[in-house]
Amino acid sequence: MDRRVAFVTGASRGIGRAIAEKLASDGCHVVLVARSADRLEALAKEITDQGGSAEACPCDIGDGEALATAVTDAAERHGRFDILVNNAGITRDDLLLRMSDEAWDEVIHVNLRSAFVACRAAVRPMMRGRFGRIINVGSVSGVMGNPGQANYAAAKAGMIGFTKTIGKEFAGKGVTANVVAPGFIATDMTDALPDLVKEEATKRIPAKRFGTPEEIAHAVSFLASDGASYINGRVLAVDGGMTD
């Protein structure tokens, strides 16, 4: 994947960080996106110290204009834009009867609208290069539903319909779009869950353990590769066998 430009949101930690490191080790130049400039600069330095190529691109993906500009600027700066990984996401969990309008709107806005904004900005330079790989990070919650996550499950399920649609719209242009749907992965996001919830979750996972961010990164790396050129509009669950 030499010299390909990959734009990864939520790259400061967790799954996004592992994806950024993997794509850099695959030979991509990685544009690291999250809000914290310091964390991104530190990661960019780590990657370059190891012989890879990366740059920090601080941006709040909830700010549509800033996100679209970040994509367009990266494409102009590098003269190409090959891989878009919409990974950044948040949870604002609550049972439906207690869920506020704000919790609903924020999760749909940050998790789903950002993917729409970034994809819309990215497909033009991808089509110009006759190559594009869009990988949207969904969740098993968007496939199965999950009590307490009506907003999050709706955003992640929406991402599936959205991804299948853009996969169909741009398939003839060398651009593919797929969803990677992680199960329970050990990151700050799941660290925040009560121990009892984590224990119950582990019992439901056939693999009997949480996954690692690196296990998600490998799936993303494959879908971003030349070898995945005929895979389009799919949902790849990486969940230790939890979903059918």
> Among all residues, which ones are annotated catalytic?
152
35 vs 128, beta carbon nearer ligand NAI: 35
Q: Is the dihedral of CA 119, 120, 121, 125 positive or negative?
A: positive
CA–CA dist 156, 11 (Å, integer): 19
Question: Which residue ranges make up the site for ligand NAI (CB under 6 A)?
Answer: 9-10, 12-16, 34-35, 60-62, 87-90, 110, 137, 139, 182, 184-185, 187-190
Smallest distance, ligand NAI to C-beta of residue 58, A: 8
Smallest distance, ligand NAI to C-beta of residue 187, A: 3
Q: Judge contact between 13 and 213, C-beta under 8 A.
A: no
Smallest distance, ligand NAI to C-beta of residue 74, A: 15
Tokens matching residue 19: 């994806």
Q: Judge contact between 50 and 44, C-beta under 8 A.
A: no
CA–CA dist 146, 181 (Å, integer): 14
Smallest distance, ligand NAI to C-beta of residue 125, A: 21
The b-or-e profile of 43-79 (16+ CB within 10 A means b, else e) is bbeebeeeebebbbbbbebbebeebbebbeebbeebe
| Phi, psi dihedrals of residue 157, rounded to the nearest 5° | -70, -40
128 vs 190, beta carbon nearer ligand NAI: 190
139 vs 163, beta carbon nearer ligand NAI: 139
111 vs 131, beta carbon nearer ligand NAI: 111
- Beta strand 29-34 pairing with 83-86: unpaired
